[in-house]
Amino acid sequence: MPPVLPEYHHRCFDGRELRAAKRDHVVSVCLPARNEASTVGAIVRSVKERLIDGCGLVDEIIVVDDHSTDNTAEVAASSGARVVSAADLMPEHGDGHGKGAAMWKSLAEADGDLIVWCDADVIGFEPHFVTGLLGPLLLEPEIGFVKGYYERPAPESGDRGGRVTELVARPMLALLFPHLSSVVQPLAGEYAGRRSLLERLPFVEGYGVDIALLIDIADRFGIDVIAQVDLGTRIHRNRPLDELSSQAAAVIQTMLSRAGHTVPAATLRRPGLEPVDLELVEMPPLATVGTFVGNF
């Protein structure tokens, strides 16, 4: 049997009670965003009004704009976020294309010692997404990383994960990393961690970042530092299969690499669609980069 991770429910944590437990911690909420103008504003306003202005639990909300072609940056800024362009942050380490690169750059930009990441495409976002993730970090000092999970309404009853989760990530965890098989949503984009842990890890540049962080944290720090939180129900924009196939390929590349296999660059070819080049690129641990050296 795989180890059972500590599990919590978001209802266990109240924002004002967590504010009392916060003490001298600094909390940053970071949203990597690309073409999410329709949803990012409501998320930013919810965090700012309820958790920054409302109770002082969160100190800042940062949106890293990953080369959006819509008005994501303008909407996020007008809603109260500090918005930075992925291309402008640490350009010596690339222009920031990809979710993982945007997250890595947000970690470099943020002031917090506790970092919360949320996807920017969530519909009906509620502050408990943040309080649920922060709760174990503030109340349990041995916890270093908190992974969210949730119900995702779908035509199939009982579907607790997405298509890439069920068809790729979960089966590969069972085969290659069975000690992580009890993770309910291994590809969830809602999670939080301590900077002291996160800065010591590489970040996969693209969509493999979520699973890579989970595997790397368990490998380097032990599975005992990981907790899970039930965040209730999550509704987001469903992506077409042609987008999911490249995401699935990135997850496969990442998991094979973490299992010790050499993963060459490849090209994903699909009838009637443009080919997609696949290459596993990683951003170095921030603790090894420039002014971040010596943080430990």
User: Sign of dihedral through CA atoms 123, 231, 77, 49?
Assistant: positive
pLDDT value for 241: 72
234 domain residue, yes or no: yes
Q: Does residue 294 fall inside a structural domain?
A: no
Task: Give the pair of three-digit tokens for residue 87.
Answer: 């291309």
Cα separation, 274 vs 292, whole angstroms: 39
Q: Is 115 helix (H, G, I), strand (E, B) or coil?
A: strand
Q: Give pLDDT < 70 ranges for the chain.
A: 153-161, 236-240, 291-296
CA distance 184 to 165: 10
Q: Is the dihedral of CA 198, 201, 207, 212 positive or negative?
A: negative
Alpha helices, DSSP H only, in the chain? 15-22, 37-47, 72-79, 99-109, 128-139, 163-164, 170-176, 195-198, 209-221, 241-258
How far apart are alpha carbons 260 and 56 in whole angstroms? 44
Q: Look up tokens 């595997």; give the residue.
A: 215
Query: Is residue 39 a contact partner of residue 237, using CB atoms and an 8 Å limit?
Result: yes
Kindly state whether residue 170 falls inside one of the protein's structural domains.
yes
Look at residue 293 and tell me if it is in a domain: no
Count of CA atoms in the C-beta half-sphere (13 A) of 87: 5
Please provide residue 170's backbone torsions phi and psi, each rounded to the nearest 5 degrees.
-65, -45
pLDDT value at residue 154: 59
Q: CA–CA separation, 181 vs 3, rounded Å?
A: 8
Tokens of 244: 């999911």
Residues 6+ apart with CB under 8 A from 226: 5, 143, 144, 145, 146, 147, 183, 214, 217, 218
With respect to residue 1, please indicate whether it lies within any of the assigned structural domains: no
The answer to the question of residue 4 being in a domain is: no
Q: What is the pLDDT of residue 5?
A: 92
Q: Is the dihedral of CA 280, 130, 235, 174 positive or negative?
A: positive
Query: Is 2 inside a domain boundary?
Result: no
Domain count, the chain: 1
What confidence score (pLDDT) does residue 15 get? Answer: 85
Give me the DSSP letters along 271-291. TTS--EEE---EEPPGGGSGG
- Of 35, 176, 52, 196, nearest to 119 by C-alpha is 35
The predicted pLDDT at position 192 comes to 98
Angle made by CA atoms 187, 190, 191, in degrees to the nearest 5: 95
Question: What pLDDT is stored for residue 237 in this prediction?
Answer: 63
pLDDT at 148: 97
| CATH code, domain carrying 252 | 3.90.550.10
* Residue 286 to residue 296: CA distance in whole angstroms: 11
Q: What is the pLDDT of residues 231-278, one digit of tens each?
A: 998 876 666 677 789 899 999 999 999 999 999 999 999 898 899 999
Range of the domain at 82: 9-287
